[in-house]
Amino acid sequence: MEAIWLYQFRLIVIGDSTVGKSCLIRRFTEGRFAQVSDPTVGVDFFSRLVEIEPGKRIKLQIWDTAGQERFRSITRAYYRNSVGGLLLFDITNRRSFQNVHEWLEETKVHVQPYQIVFVLVGHKCDLDTQRQVTRHEAEKLAAAYGMKYIETSARDAINVEKAFTDLTRDIYELVKRGEISIQEGWEGVKSGFVPNVVHSSEEVIKSERRCLC
């Protein structure tokens, strides 16, 4: 019964142009790495099932956004319905790290009245020799915003699974504790279909969602 999942989470992937958002997602959803890829136009869509505990699956709908400024008006529209996000920068590109702050400000404005659980991702960690951002400073920045930090490489398939599943687990915990709840008119978290199992009670209790960012 592969098609059955407990919840569906919508995740958004943001960050400067060319930091490798699409490559990371493709590695995660298709298991492939493309040496050459076109810049994303507007927004792209991917999905994958993740097993967070034996028998407990979550369907991830992943929104891949264009990093290019000209598509910003399109990508902005997608913050609101996301429960989680991966904020990427390129460890070999200092500028993309400096822009992390702006990305967070941008989301803050557009996600209202909801919140997004973010993880900060230092991408292209296979290119360690060209590193311009140290792990230490990235961790510091992440901590300042209450985010986790992880370094990944789509090319060498390092930490790609972990980045997505850790985030999914964190969101799942929040859902279980009732800190995030399914709401009418909000697409971030949706209930899936579980055969012969009564949905856990947390869905019924509506409580305030806490921001992790």
Partner 1 sequence: MSDKDATETSAVTEAAPILKDGNCESAEKPENKSQPVASTRKRPETNPSRDLEASQIPAQVPQDAAKETVSKDAPQTGWGYWGSWGKSLLSSASATVATVGQGISNVIEKAETSLGIPSPTEISTEVKQAAGETNASENESSPVAGPFGMLSTISTAVQSTGKSVISGGLDALEFIGKKTMDVIAEGDPGFKRTKGLMTRSTLSQVLREVKDKEEQSPSNEVTMETDKKTHYGLLFDEFQGLSHLEALEMLSRESEIKVKSILSSLSGEELQTTRLELEQLKEAFSLAEFCEDEEEERQGDEEFTKEITELFAQLHVSSRPEKLARARNTAYEWIRTSLARPVTEKEEGEKQLETENTEEVKRSSIEDIHAFAIRSLAELTACSIELFHKTAALVLHGQKQEVTALERSQMLSQLTVMLCKDLGSLSKEFTTCLTTAGVREKADVLNPLITAVFLEASNSASYIQDAFQLLLPVLQISLIESKTESPRGEPPAQNLLTEH
Block residue for tokens 């398939």 = 157
- What's the distance, Cα to Cα, between the start and end of the chain in Å? 35
**Per CB under 8 A, does 178 bind partner 1?**
no
Q: Which amino acid is at 95?
A: R
**Per CB under 8 A, does 193 bind partner 1?**
yes
Burial class (CB within 10 angstroms; exposed 0-12, middle 13-18, buried 19+) of 106: middle
Of 35, 54, 73, 185, the one binding partner 1 (CB under 8 A) is 73
**Per CB under 8 A, does 204 bind partner 1?**
no
Of 17, 33, 46, 202, the one binding partner 1 (CB under 8 A) is 46
Helices (H), 31-134: 72-75, 94-98, 100-111
Using the rule CB under 8 A, give the single segment among 44-52, 94-102, 129-137, 144-152 that binds partner 1. 44-52
Number of residues that bind partner 1 (CB under 8 A): 22
Q: Write each residue from 124 to 163 as x if it is in contact with partner 1 (CB under 8 A), else as -, in one continuous string.
A: ----------------------------------------
The residue among 27 and 124 lying less far from partner 1, judged by its C-beta, is 27
Pairs from 46-55 (Cβ < 8 Å, separation ≥ 24): 48/164, 49/2, 49/5, 50/164, 50/165, 50/168, 52/165, 52/168, 52/169, 52/172
**Per CB under 8 A, does 186 bind partner 1?**
no
Of 43, 49, 127, 211, the one binding partner 1 (CB under 8 A) is 43
**Per CB under 8 A, does 38 bind partner 1?**
yes
CA dihedral 44, 80, 57, 190 (to 10 degrees): -120
Residue 130 beta carbon to partner 1: minimum distance, rounded to whole angstroms: 28
Residue 189 beta carbon to partner 1: minimum distance, rounded to whole angstroms: 14
Q: How many other C-beta atoms are found inside a 10 Å radius of the C-beta of residue 75?
A: 21
119 CB-near residues (< 8 Å, 6+ apart): 84, 85, 86, 87, 147, 148, 149, 150, 163, 166, 167, 170
The residue among 4 and 52 lying less far from partner 1, judged by its C-beta, is 4
**Per CB under 8 A, does 42 bind partner 1?**
yes
Q: Write each residue from 53 to 72 as x if it is in contact with partner 1 (CB under 8 A), else as -, in one continuous string.
A: --------x--------xx-
Pairwise CA distance, residues 161 & 53, whole Å: 14
Give the interface with partner 1 as residue ranges (CB under 8 A): 1-4, 38, 41-47, 61, 70-71, 73-74, 77, 192-193, 195-196
